Amino acid sequence: MKTTIFLGLAMSFATLSFAQNNRRSAEVFLEIVNPGKYNVYLDEELVSSAHGRFRFYDVYNSTPVLSIIQGNTEIFKQQVKVIPEQRLVLSLEGKELITLKQMNIFRNRQYALDDFDGYTGDYNTGIVPPVLPDPNYRLLSPEAFQEFYSSYKKSVFDSERVRLINAVSKNASFSSSQSKLILKTFTFDGERLKIAKSLYQTVVDPQNYFTVAETFEFPYYKDEFLKYLEKP
């Protein structure tokens, strides 16, 4: 009788272990645009960084809780929805969580993603191909952007900000999230519109650039910006 019970328990544990090992996992990647030191939890898993990017692999919970802590303060907490065998790429802008991309992790049974939000090598031809405006332009690293933004915040006048933006964007690109953060600091919508058009020429994710519209204070300039995006 005892042998039968032990055998049954062993089979149950084996079945449970097999089921767990064959569950399909997902990935959750997060970008925090505003520079700073953060601790990010996805359920019980912790990732800390001062560089603005957080990566969670092997996510099995379909609705994990994302918590973001800066210093001793919890600044954000929200449940997110993930899909097995897909990478969810998120961006925190202020207190708003935005979905940037949802990508298949595997192609032809091979791991197909780069270290953040694109496909690698031969797999760079999928449903969501990367957009490279110019091979001479490259997205600033999180470290470089934080250095730039620290200097940028010290600028008092729009003219100073424009000079700094022009100096950096001569050889580098910004993302839509970074552009939005930059443009929010402008005093006048007229100058904001001019720079928004300029940054659009080399932004690395033009499909998300419409989110910049909310930085404009007056409807006229917001409409002018959206009309500009509508042009072929």
Kindly state the DSSP code that residue 208 receives in the 8-state scheme. Answer: G
For the chain, residues with pLDDT lower than 50 are 2-7, 9-22, 123, 125-137
Side chain identity at residue 28, one-letter code? V
Cα(117)–Cα(87) distance, integer angstroms:
8
Q: 100 and 192: one domain?
A: no
On whether residue 13 sits in a domain, the answer given is no
Q: 28 and 119: one domain?
A: yes
Q: 35 and 117: one domain?
A: yes
Give the per-residue pLDDT at 5: 46
Give the per-residue pLDDT at 21: 42
Of the three residues 123, 151, 186, the one that is the final residue of a domain is 123
Of the three residues 123, 152, 181, the one that is the final residue of a domain is 123
Q: 107 and 181: one domain?
A: no
On whether residue 3 sits in a domain, the answer given is no
Q: 164 and 212: one domain?
A: yes
Of the three residues 89, 123, 157, the one that is the final residue of a domain is 123
Q: 37 and 112: one domain?
A: yes
Q: What is the domain range of residue 190?
A: 142-230
Contact 60, 85 (CB under 8 A): no
Q: 110 and 161: one domain?
A: no
Give the per-residue pLDDT at 122: 54
Token pair belonging to 155: 């600028």
Give the per-residue pLDDT at 20: 43
Q: 116 and 156: one domain?
A: no
Say how many domains are in the chain.
2
Contact 161, 185 (CB under 8 A): yes
Token pair belonging to 65: 């809780």
Q: 98 and 157: one domain?
A: no
On whether residue 168 sits in a domain, the answer given is yes
- Is the full-model pTM beyond 0.85? no
The domain spanning residue 48 has which CATH number? Answer: 2.60.40.1120
Q: 44 and 97: one domain?
A: yes
Which residue bears the tokens 């008092």?
Answer: 156
Q: 67 and 94: one domain?
A: yes
On whether residue 10 sits in a domain, the answer given is no
- Which residues lie below 8 Å from residue 197, measured CB to CB, with a gap of 6+? 225, 228
Q: 218 and 188: one domain?
A: yes
On whether residue 36 sits in a domain, the answer given is yes
